[in-house]
Amino acid sequence: MKMIPLSEAKTRLSHYGRMCRKEPIVVTVNGVPAFELVRLNEDDDLVDQLIEHNPDFRELLRKRVKEKTISVADAIKRI
């Protein structure tokens, strides 16, 4: 695992984008680890990753879970 400052990550992003295929790259802000660059595997579902980490989507799901539901039969009747 390699640690680099944010300024270096911004300057050489292409380089570290390639490098993170071999090992994770931890990016620091003011010397404190802030985030990690990691490889996406071919079987990773990018859409699932984006949804999982989207706070607006999580909030929408939280609200929807509290809403009244109907049965499949009632839904079919409404169509």
Q: Is the pLDDT of residue 50 over 90?
A: no
* Overall domain count for the chain: 1
Contact 40, 23 (CB under 8 A): no
**Residue 53 banded pLDDT, cuts 50, 70, 90:** confident
Name the nearest CA neighbour of 32 among 1, 2, 3. 3
Whether the predicted pLDDT of 42 surpasses 80: no
- State the residue range of the domain holding 43: 2-78
Order across the sheet with 25-29: list the strands: 2-5, 25-29, 32-37
pLDDT at 34: 97
Position 57 scores a pLDDT of 85
Q: Comparing 57 with 34, which gets the higher pLDDT? A: 34
Could you give the CA distance from residue 20 to residue 26 in angstroms, rounded to a whole number? 9
pLDDT in tens, 22-31: 999 999 999 9
